[in-house]
Structure 1
Amino acid sequence: MTPQHKLDLDPEAVRTARRLAARAAEPIIAMARSHTTVSVERALLRLAGLSGADADGRPWANHLCDAVRDQVGLEHGVALPVWDALASGPHGSLRELAQAAAAGKASFRLPSGGDAETARQASRQAARGGIARIDRRRAEREAMLRQVGDPPHPLIYLIVATGDIYEDIPQAQAAAREGADVVAVIRSTGQSLLDFVPEGATREGYAGTYATQENFRLMRAALDDVSRELGRYVRLTNYASGLCMPEIATLAGLERLDMMLNDCMYGIIFRDINPRRTFIDQRFSRQIHARAGIVINTGEDNYLTTADAVDAAHTVVVSQLLNERFGHEAGLADAQLGLGHAFEIDPAVPQSFRLELAHAQLVRELFPAAPLKYMPPTKHMTGNIFAGYLLDAFFNLAGVLTGQSIILVGMMTEGIHTPWLADRDLALENVRYVRDACGALAEDFVPRPGGFVAQRARQVLAESIDLLERVADDGLLTAIAEGTFGVTRRPADGGKGLEGVVERAPGYHNPAIEILDAEDPHGAHASEQEVPA
């Protein structure tokens, strides 16, 4: 019996769920294809090589994009006005042009005729150069995997983030030496609400470390060093969410990150980012991830921190199906869809472990080729570290039994403080023991036909279909506004960043989107690093 057939799910019910998810997603996809945002336009500039910031830390990409918007608008994109200005003015580079724009000494127009064609070709060449750099970084990853080898699965995922990149690096290397296969550098609190990407190496983050291109570069180099030392490739994760999602995705591709947190609704629900802004930014960011061979991690686990994990189990599945549809449309392969879920049922609930197994096995069977990311208990962790350590062991066991691909390390001090290094060491020992002791135990875990686990899984799938029907009929933006996911209401025209959304005019030109839309992101990369399910 194959892993995807243990629950005897009705194939027609699964097909119905996917059809409904596609119908619910279609208006959002159409909106993303007919609009742009300031961050999408800035991402093009970064892809073309524009970096750096002024003395106050404001990026040149922001200065240049804002100047174009103020003078001619963004309805046609930044490409034509910017490369027309480069062709016709005294500025020898994007940075010189941005500096002049910041000083009020650059003028922009929307070119026409031969001038427009000249600008179009120049911008396409610049975008092509950036995409070629991403392609080279992807090829580097594949070479590294061949050179040092891939670790056994499930991958062990651990978070580091001191706020100081130079403190993060030795912690990340120590974590790798103790068994971590994926290191996530969690972002500084509030960065998702910044409408610019900080510049340079940073040492003063808050409950996390700022996501910057230089921080990406430093950590990637450090993990490459420890990968060679250990003889296994250690993956690097960061966060492509918030108001600069497309730009951070672009920087991740340029600096060879391996995974990125990139969920279709997390920023909307938990950071109050405007829904329209989020969905438009998301499409471009996922196109970049697809091209870069980056595995996305989605955030459905967060719903269960605000909603009941039993009552809301079906909302997780619905969001996963929507994330799958949005991901496929943007070019992501199944092996790049690190769909998230979590072990968050109150341990006091009778049969809680059986319920967890039912939910985890259902997700495994619905997405058999996806590198699922399984999140540990957090909501019901208390100051009892011994009970917490036991609960984490049950979580690790559930992950192995149901064949999860990526297991985030649970911390017994989750409910007390930011875990110390010693806590992380014990947590790694816990997950290593369970993974090694169980081996391929998933082969032997077969729920009894018609039993508790199978019936619960089918119930959650049926509830998911019912909800998808309502979402498809009423619209996803309406469902979000009504608090369907994570019991948090977010209206379509509320939240942060709506002012950065622009409807495309006829003749809109973004050469990066045109290239990414036209080309197979996986054409020459049949053996990319994507994590096997």
Structure 2
Amino acid sequence: MVLRQRSVLELDPAEVKRARALARQAGRPVVNLAKRHTTVSVERATLRLAGLSGADHERVPWVNHLVDRVRQDVGLEHGVALPVWDALRRGDAPDLTTLAQKAAGGAVTFRLPEGKDATAAGKAARTAISRGVRTIDRQRATRDKLIARHGDPKQKPWIYLIVATGDIYEDIPQAQAAAREGADIIAVIRSTGQSLLDFVPEGATREGYAGTYATQENFRLMRAALDETSKELGRYVRLTNYASGLCMPEIATLAGLERLDMMLNDSMYGILFRDINPIRTFVDQRFSRQIHARAGIIINTGEDNYLTTADAVEAAHTVTVSQLLNEYFAKEAGLADWQLGLGHAFEIDPTVPDSFRLELAHALLARTLFPDAPLKWMPPTKHMTGDIFRGYLLDGFFNLVGAMTGQGILLVGMMTEAVVTPWLSDRDLALQNVRYVLDAAGGLTEDFHPPREGLIQTRARQVLREAIDLLQEIVDDAEETGDPALLAAIADGTFGAMKRPPTKGKGLDGVARKAPGYLNPATDLLSEGSDR
């Protein structure tokens, strides 16, 4: 899906290679840390792959009840698979749902099996969990068949548009209308605060603040509706939601089971902007990305958010550093280049001299560093003032940069951004803006070649050098302390001007260090399939 173009930035190949090598050095200790730990959400996601769903009369999911009871009885250091399937083999319950119900009422006690009992429990767990992985495989195959049948959008970048009513039954007609007006990707914004819930709500939801809850049933309903619209329009319409927050692994799993196509999944967003514990986040994001890799889901990273809290010129290099780290973490988890919707944004203050040329430099730098990635280009938000005419013009400039630099995913900017929740008519005008610019200037990728020593080339090289310097600083700190220095950099406010120490933050109590003999067939199955 990537808009390929000749590299128009003359970057030093040695510097590009060095930047990636430093990102690996900075990221590797964090990956090792993630491999040594599990979380309550990873274990709940494992049970969801085995088919456990539903909730009690107070809407507490059965996966939460079951994991909490196992943790109470034997801890999570060995994972939930062995004690859960040991209980099933011993006849404590005929199935997972009944076992979870009995666990919620305190009517079952779990043990950690040993010897032949452990071997048998592990084998039974793998058999059950593999059924969920096969469902994800079938959904991926179904997507491929539908794309072959209906076709992909003819024009790129893909046009990405948001719906956010709070009511899934209102979201559906708005999403279908947006697709008919030209949107290629529908993003259902998640209800404010869901990222801080340590459970996934059940069922179709009709109440949400500034968005709609991410649930398996909501995923199913919207995917079915967009399948109908894809057939009607003769092009496959993609669906996006959010795999972030305290339930990142579970939501990623539900997305794979229900054939979502893209998920917002950033390695540091939850840490910086939701104050979720860094260790919890890195453990959860690795599992979630293994799910995405298996499901053929494109991730969208959140570097654009840094520029809402830090200056877009001064902090430009931190965006590049985060993109390089996100690339490393994603590939280590099994994602391919075509699945890396690395984020960046048009957020320079428009009163800054040469702001448009600087935006071009930053966008071209990302396009040149990641030529095979479907980069996600985000519209101006920070400097939208409520003047809708000025905002509409800014969005036009944003769309022009997207056209000139060959971005892969273009999020539709709204002239009423930061003023009101956009009306359908606002979205229609915004789509007209996008279509006009792409139709009139979409071929500029072939003609646009900034001068060798001009501002754009010079600025891009400067940002890359600053990114390399920052990565080198992170790596040097690691060599001095012996600790994962990326965690120290996050604690110091390096990214987005947010300081988040590894010993604090929401969800830390849900992290467990793996013991010898830890077993999770889900991670084994996903690792085995990571080379697809």
TM class by shorter chain equals over 0.9
1:289-304 superposed matches below 5 A? 289-304=292-307
Return the alpha-carbon distance in structure 1 between the equivalents of residues 53 and 279 of structure 2: 27
Q: Which residue of 2 aligns with 1:243?
A: 246
Q: Which residue of 2 aligns with 1:483?
A: 493
State the 1:515 CA deviation: 1.3
Q: Is the 8 A contact 1:24 1:473 kept in 2?
A: no
Q: Which residue of 2 aligns with 1:28?
A: 30
State the 1:90 CA deviation: 3.8
Q: Which residue of 2 aligns with 1:493?
A: 503
Q: Which residue of 1 aligns with 2:289?
A: 286
State the 1:521 CA deviation: 4.4
Q: Which residue of 2 aligns with 1:64?
A: 66
Pick aligned residue for 1:54 from 56, 79, 100: 56
State the 1:107 CA deviation: 1.3
Pick aligned residue for 1:509 from 488, 496, 519: 519
Does residue 161 (structure 1) correspond to residue 164 (structure 2)? The answer is yes
Return the alpha-carbon distance in structure 1 between the equivalents of residues 136 and 449 of structure 2: 42
What SS does structure 1 have at the residue aligned with 2:322? helix
Does residue 201 (structure 1) correspond to residue 200 (structure 2)? The answer is no
Does residue 469 (structure 1) correspond to residue 472 (structure 2)? The answer is yes
Residues 36-82 of structure 1: per-residue CA shift (max 9 Å, x gap): 00000000000100000000000000000000000000000000000
Pick aligned residue for 2:399 from 396, 399, 420: 396
1:249-398 superposed matches below 5 A? 249-398=252-401
State the 1:381 CA deviation: 0.5
Return the alpha-carbon distance in structure 2 between the equivalents of residues 231 and 440 of structure 1: 24
State the 1:446 CA deviation: 0.7
Return the alpha-carbon distance in structure 1 between the equivalents of residues 515 and 386 of structure 2: 56
Pick aligned residue for 2:451 from 448, 453, 456: 448
Return the alpha-carbon distance in structure 2 between the equivalents of residues 439 and 20 of structure 1: 35
What SS does structure 1 have at the residue aligned with 2:420? coil
User: Which amino acid in 1 is paired with 2:231?
Assistant: R
Return the alpha-carbon distance in structure 2 between the equivalents of residues 144 and 472 of structure 1: 45
Q: Is the 8 A contact 2:130 2:522 kept in 1?
A: yes
State the 1:520 CA deviation: 3.5
Q: Is the 8 A contact 1:83 1:120 kept in 2?
A: yes
State the 1:4 CA deviation: 5.1
Pick aligned residue for 1:229 from 208, 229, 232: 232
Q: Is the 8 A contact 1:4 1:368 kept in 2?
A: no
Does residue 115 (structure 1) correspond to residue 125 (structure 2)? The answer is no
Q: Which residue of 2 aligns with 1:434?
A: 437
Return the alpha-carbon distance in structure 2 between the equivalents of residues 166 and 178 of structure 1: 19
State the 1:366 CA deviation: 0.1
TM-score of the pair, normalised by structure 1: 0.97
State the 1:494 CA deviation: 0.9
Q: Which runs of 5+ in 2 are unaligned?
A: 478-484
Q: Which residue of 1 aligns with 2:482?
A: none
Q: Is the 8 A contact 2:189 2:242 kept in 1?
A: yes
Return the alpha-carbon distance in structure 2 between the equivalents of residues 209 and 415 of structure 1: 19
Return the alpha-carbon distance in structure 2 between the equivalents of residues 102 and 90 of structure 1: 13
Q: Which residue of 1 aligns with 2:528?
A: 518
Return the alpha-carbon distance in structure 2 between the equivalents of residues 48 and 157 of structure 1: 33
Q: Is the 8 A contact 2:293 2:530 kept in 1?
A: no
State the 1:437 CA deviation: 1.2
What SS does structure 1 have at the residue aligned with 2:21? helix
Return the alpha-carbon distance in structure 2 between the equivalents of residues 75 and 99 of structure 1: 23
Q: Which residue of 1 aligns with 2:16?
A: 14
Residues 10-61 of structure 1: per-residue CA shift (max 9 Å, x gap): 0000000000000000110001111000000000000100000000000000
User: Which amino acid in 2 is paired with 1:516?
Assistant: L
